[in-house]
Amino acid sequence: MPAVKINHDKLTDPNAAQKPPKREPVAPGVYVALIMAAPVGVTKGAPPLNKMSVEFQVLHDEKNNAHEAGRRVFQDYILEKDPAKTDLNAQRRWELRMLLDACGVAYTDDGFNTDHLLTKTVKITVRHRNGTQVDEDGKLPVFTNVVKVDTTEEIKDEDLV
């Protein structure tokens, strides 16, 4: 592997390994977004559950304004049942199914190929939620959540059955 040249201020400084900088949340609204990545990992909770972290890149809002263009929104999708929180299992399954249907990705009860999500353009509805632990500024952090994923295809009224 070739050597890589960097141009950061003191990368070896111990402070460089501490907290990441704060990321301002994307404003609530409906956006057209491109799916950039969908890596699979595990949650931090107990028990750890398999999840897929989808990275959406905002292209424009539903009125074609580009004020949030280029911003990234990340949303986790849980891929298995949680024995500790059985009341959330149906909700999580519905969220995953909504994403797959909006992207037109083929799936079975056994699974799907995450590569088929990449570069799909979808319409996402973004909302905010507050964290539960106060940050160093004494405030509750605000997180961006994707609460709905839909297709970007428009359906004419005459095509509805």
The string of pLDDT tens digits covering residues 68-125 is: 899 999 999 999 998 888 888 999 999 999 999 999 999 999 999 999 999 999 999 9
The string of pLDDT tens digits covering residues 44-66 is: 888 899 999 999 999 999 888 88
Residue 133: which domain range?
25-152
Q: Is residue 89 part of a domain?
A: yes
- Global pTM reads 0.81
Q: Is residue 97 part of a domain?
A: yes
Q: Is residue 105 part of a domain?
A: yes
Residue 33 CA to residue 119 CA, distance in Å, equals 9
What is the number of structural domains in the chain?
Answer: 1
Q: Which residues contact 89 (CB under 8 A, 6 or more apart)?
A: 81, 82
CATH number reported for the structural domain that contains residue 105 in this entry: 2.40.50
Count Cβ atoms below 10 Å from residue 76 Cβ, excluding itself. 16
Q: Is residue 68 part of a domain?
A: yes
Q: Is residue 59 part of a domain?
A: yes
Distances (CA, A) of 160 to 64, 149, 154: 25, 20, 11
Q: Is residue 18 part of a domain?
A: no
